[in-house]
A and B are shown apart, each in its own frame.
Chain A
Amino acid sequence: MAPNSKKEVEPMPDVQELNRDLANRLIEEVKKDRQSAYNGKFVGLANGQIIVVTENLAELAQRLRQAEPDPARTFIVEPGRDLDEVFEVWETC
């Protein structure tokens, strides 16, 4: 860094990073509190904010599209679901 230069500004985290950070916080919340309002629900995020909490996939999709037309700025998390499970796809060839 050149002498007397201002401290470099931290780069803004990208939207998906914000979404994933929030998703991870929701997952942790449900792990600590199974009574959490997010347990058993789909949570739709956009631009680092919660847009919709629902059990209904169609409602999730509709509300997300309404709130943020660019799908690259959205993220869906199921905080109470164990996605460490491995799902099998039988060999097809």
Chain B
Amino acid sequence: MARVPWSFLNDRPIIQIEFTLAQGGKASRTLLADTGAGTAKGPFELILEEHDCLLFGGSFAQTVKLSGAYAGSFPRYLLLAEIPVIQFSGDVFAIGVTAPPKGLDGIAGIRFLNRFTYGNFGNPTEFGLET
């Protein structure tokens, strides 16, 4: 069992995910941990800036229709996501948007968070994932 906690950012729960750049190397992105994004069986796990999806060598997939914070038809990409400290590595579908939440690189939705045990683990200023 491994656990990684992140301190809240502007009082909001966040997680950090590492991606492999198409040109080589790795890049980390900070995402809002948002159980209200998508559904547990929906067709995407993350929402990222579309430029990042391309930077990370995402394969194109069918577009998805969203409502709420993002409304309309959006491109979808298959990306390799990693959280090395808890030995997580997995392929995930990410939606590409032009404007992620202010001050963040995107959103990790319920389908991604549900891969783990998640929560504050008793610390009200942290959010963590556990495998």
B is a partner of A:
yes
Q: A residues engaging B (CB < 8 A)?
A: 16, 19, 23, 44, 57-58, 60-61, 64, 71-72, 74-78, 81, 83-93
Q: B residues engaging A (CB < 8 A)?
A: 22, 32, 34, 36-39, 42-44, 47, 57-70, 78, 80, 90-92, 101-102, 107, 109
| Alpha-carbon distance between A78 and B37 when the two chains are bound, in angstroms | 21
| Alpha-carbon distance between A25 and B118 when the two chains are bound, in angstroms | 40
The answer, among B47, B62, B102, for a CB contact under 8 Å with A89, is B47
Q: What's the nearest-Cβ distance from chain B to residue A40, in Å?
A: 13
| Alpha-carbon distance between A5 and B40 when the two chains are bound, in angstroms | 60
A83–B91 touching, CB < 8 Å:
no
Q: What's the nearest-Cβ distance from chain A to residue B97, in Å?
A: 9
The answer, among B22, B58, B68, for a CB contact under 8 Å with A88, is B68
Q: In the complex, what residue of chain B is closest to A75 when comparing beta carbons?
A: B60
A89–B109 touching, CB < 8 Å:
yes
A86–B67 touching, CB < 8 Å:
yes
Closest 9 CB pairs of A and B: A90-B36, A76-B61, A61-B91, A74-B59, A89-B69, A71-B59, A86-B65, A89-B68, A88-B68
Q: In the complex, what residue of chain B is closest to A46 when comparing beta carbons?
A: B59
Evaluate whether A61 and B36 lie within 8 angstroms (CB atoms) in the complex, with A16-B60, A78-B43 already known: no
